[in-house]
Structure 1
Amino acid sequence: MKLGMIGLGRMGANMAQRLLRGGHAVVGFDPRAEARAALQEQGAETADSLAALLAKLAPPRVLWLMVPAGEITDTTLEALLPLLQVGDTLVDGGNSRYLDSQRRAATFVEHGIEYVDCGTSGGVWGLAEGYSLMIGGAEAAVERLRPLFECLAPAPGRGWGRVGPVGAGHFAKMIHNGIEYGLMQAYAEGFSILHHKQEFDLDLQQLAEIWSHGSVVHSWLLELTAKALAEHPDMHDIAPYVADSGEGRWTVDEAIALGVPAPVITHALIARLRSRDAESFADRLLAALRNQFGGHEVRKG
């Protein structure tokens, strides 16, 4: 199956490479010439425009988007729509919000174009280890794309599946990332407590390695924790600033809308927001209030 890949950032390029290694033909497009050149070195064809990309694919065409969620996805899809024809299939493998995927799918289905949303997990390790794929879309459309999913997944029968209609794939990935927030926060807090117990002079990387074998808290994230601690034992060279790409917020929004308590994921999100406030007005006001009612000392800053 010959696939058009749109978006050759690190993850898109790695997915294209994995497909190439699996014997699939790939034509890649990215507005950056250097990204196209890098993919060409891996043996793929490239195109310097969306129109040129489509011209290199025989109908019915399959196009896989790996672009950032939000406006750039909408802009790309708007540019693609007049170039597509009945029977073509679009796969959004980025981190789009499921509501956006449902909205977009409705537009493309009106034009006879299949729309599949694919929540994709695996990060920079997916090229070697395979990707976890949560897929939403019509059963027949997903089945047609089976060879691609089987190639990208860790194994043909493992790590991927159709989880429901359009929107379900990105919804599942959204919750997956919300869970990830909570897991990461738990590891971070636990290792922070270990770090502050100075009387034992604990080797945190050693503990992470020990827990990575036979422990009930073993996970791939713990293995990555051990790797991070080996590279940055004291974390002095890393700023305490944690970004978020949106999925945690959407997960908390959904929990509130459904009336489902999710305190761990919510706290993990708030902890990330808190990490960015180096000049916290709230903390300054708290100190001032303690001084007002109890005469407690206020540190000048």
Structure 2
Amino acid sequence: MEITIIGLGKMGLSLAKQLNKQGQTINGFDVNPLISDIYSDERLNYLSSINDLKAVQDTKNLVFLLLPAGGPTKATIYELSSLLKKDDVIIDFSNSFYKDSIDNFEALRDLGIKYYDCGLSGGVEGALNGACMMLGGQAETDQALLDLLASLCVPGGFEFYPQPGSGHYLKMVHNGIEYGMMQAIAEGLELLHSQSHYDFDLSRVTNNWRYGSIIESALMDNIHEELSRDEDLAQFNQKVHASGEAKWMVSEALQEEVPTPVISLSLMKRNASLKEVPFSNQVLSAMRFNFGGHKEY
């Protein structure tokens, strides 16, 4: 297989580095031509254009897409559909809506191109040293492909689900769960930071909780690392953006009539953080003043 990674941002470049460390010679393409100044390896051949894929048509192409979900991914898949040949493979690592992934699978199947949707978790560190992957796609799959993807994951971190769209559906739910866990950690540390009884060093507390506690996790490792640098987290503002996956998950839960109150509230909390002065707070203050004469100071 001739492996090409399209999209050499943090995640794509980290996967490229891991493949190179394994001894794999691969191709890479990114819209930013200066990416080659960041990383170079004799086993990474930078393509000047996606059209350069035509030069390797005598072997099976395996294309990894690590692009933003939506327009960039759709446009690239459309472009690849006229470049790739029968039995070539696309692994879509974007955080796409699962129904879009099903559409991509069906459109490319008609051309004989194999499309797989893959949820990728573990962050930049995981992409570099061993990730968690949830692969969705057709049941009839080349074992060599599964073995390659499994080699990029930590032991036990790879699973294949033989239904198109299932990988991105799982990533959608995974990220929703992540939202709820992050919110719970944030609220607990908020209380520890604000309470007046004890003088806690939150770096020490989070380090304590990283070992043997029920809530030890990669997320606890992450916040401990940042608190160790600065307990006030001064470089971070109070705005927290939400990606598409949690929104899709809440919408899916409503359609399936499955209650997801924690995840839904964690999404609403992020949305509220983007407001400089939430109008709803002004409405509440106005009502309190109107019925009870309460003035907000």
- Letter aligned with residue 185 of structure 1: Q
- Letter aligned with residue 146 of structure 1: L
Distance 1:205 1:136, change over 3 A: same
User: Distance in 2 between the 1:283 and 1:62 partners?
Assistant: 52
Distance 1:4 1:88, change over 3 A: same
Is 1:96 the equivalent of 2:96?
yes
Quote the offset at 1:178 in angstroms. Answer: 0.4
Q: Which residue in 1 is equivalent to 2:110?
A: 110
Q: Which residue in 1 is equivalent to 2:175?
A: 177
Within a 5 Å distance, the mapping from 1:139-158 to structure 2 comes to: 139-141=139-141, 143-155=143-155, 158=156
Distance 1:2 1:84, change over 3 A: closer
Quote the offset at 1:65 in angstroms. Answer: 0.5
Quote the offset at 1:77 in angstroms. Answer: 1.0
Q: Which residue in 2 is equivalent to 1:234?
A: 232
Q: Which residue in 2 is equivalent to 1:35?
A: 35
User: Distance in 2 between the 1:260 and 1:185 partners?
Assistant: 20
User: Distance in 2 between the 1:84 and 1:286 partners?
Assistant: 58
Q: Which residue in 1 is equivalent to 2:188?
A: 190
Contact kept in structure 1, 2:24 and 2:43, CA below 8 Å? no
Contact kept in structure 1, 2:134 and 2:160, CA below 8 Å? yes
Q: Which residue in 2 is equivalent to 1:46?
A: 46
User: Distance in 2 between the 1:33 and 1:181 partners?
Assistant: 34
Number of residues of Structure 1 aligned to a counterpart in Structure 2: 297
Contact kept in structure 2, 1:88 and 1:114, CA below 8 Å? yes
Give TM-score, length-normalised by structure 1. 0.94
Structure 1 counterpart SS, 2:241 = coil
Q: Which residue in 2 is equivalent to 1:164?
A: 162
Structure 1 counterpart SS, 2:117 = strand
Moved over 6 A (4+): none
Is 1:81 the equivalent of 2:77?
no
- Letter aligned with residue 118 of structure 1: C
Contact kept in structure 2, 1:26 and 1:45, CA below 8 Å? yes
User: Distance in 2 between the 1:144 and 1:245 partners?
Assistant: 33
Q: Which residue in 2 is equivalent to 1:265?
A: 263
Provide Cα deviations, 1:155-204, integer angstroms capped at 9, x if missing partner. 3xx20010231100000011000000000000000010111113311111
User: Distance in 2 between the 1:200 and 1:275 partners?
Assistant: 28
Q: Which residue in 1 is equivalent to 2:134?
A: 134
Contact kept in structure 1, 2:17 and 2:128, CA below 8 Å? no
- What percent identity do the matched residue pairs reach? 35
Provide Cα deviations, 1:236-295, integer angstroms capped at 9, x if missing partner. 332101011211101101110110000000011001001111121111111011101111
- Letter aligned with residue 143 of structure 1: Q
Distance 1:45 1:57, change over 3 A: farther
Quote the offset at 1:61 in angstroms. Answer: 1.3
User: Distance in 2 between the 1:23 and 1:239 partners?
Assistant: 41
- Higher mean C-alpha displacement, 34-43 vs 200-209: 34-43
User: Distance in 2 between the 1:250 and 1:142 partners?
Assistant: 31
- Higher mean C-alpha displacement, 131-140 vs 229-238: 229-238
Q: Which residue in 2 is equivalent to 1:286?
A: 284
Give TM-score, length-normalised by structure 2. 0.96
Quote the offset at 1:143 in angstroms. Answer: 2.4
Over the residues paired in the alignment, what is the CA RMSD in angstroms?
A: 1.5
User: Distance in 2 between the 1:9 and 1:87 partners?
Assistant: 27
Show structure 1 runs of 5+ residues with no match: none
User: Distance in 2 between the 1:142 and 1:159 partners?
Assistant: 19
Q: Which residue in 2 is equivalent to 1:243?
A: 241
